[in-house]
Amino acid sequence: LGLPPVITRGCNFDEVGASGSGIVVDGGEDALADALLKFCTDSEARGLAALKARELVVAKFTWPIVARQMLATYEARLRTRRP
């Protein structure tokens, strides 16, 4: 399945925390160390977060999904383009 992420709020990847697919910390060495230790020592939490991370990626971040989103963005921009 892979490994769930440990990120800081500065990553601006709100989906990680909202989906439970990883741990989002405010930053600082202690917070990062605690989050990493959690995943290193709690295989159940690590496994569940890894599963949720995979589900998140499959639902929102595969190439076909991202390509459709980009195409929709470009098409919307072209519709609002001024002559």
Under 8 Å CB-to-CB from 81, ≥6 apart: which residues? none
User: Which tens digits make up the pLDDT trace of 56-75?
Assistant: 999 999 999 999 999 999 99
Query: pTM (2 decimals)?
Result: 0.80
Q: Are 23 and 35 within 8 A, CB to CB?
A: yes
- Alpha carbons 70 and 66: distance in angstroms, whole number: 6
Give the angle 31-46-61 at the CA atoms, nearest 5°.
95
Per-residue pLDDT tens over the stretch 15-67: 999 999 999 999 899 999 999 999 999 999 999 999 999 999 999 999 999 99
Contacts of 15 (CB under 8 A, 6+ apart): 21, 56, 60
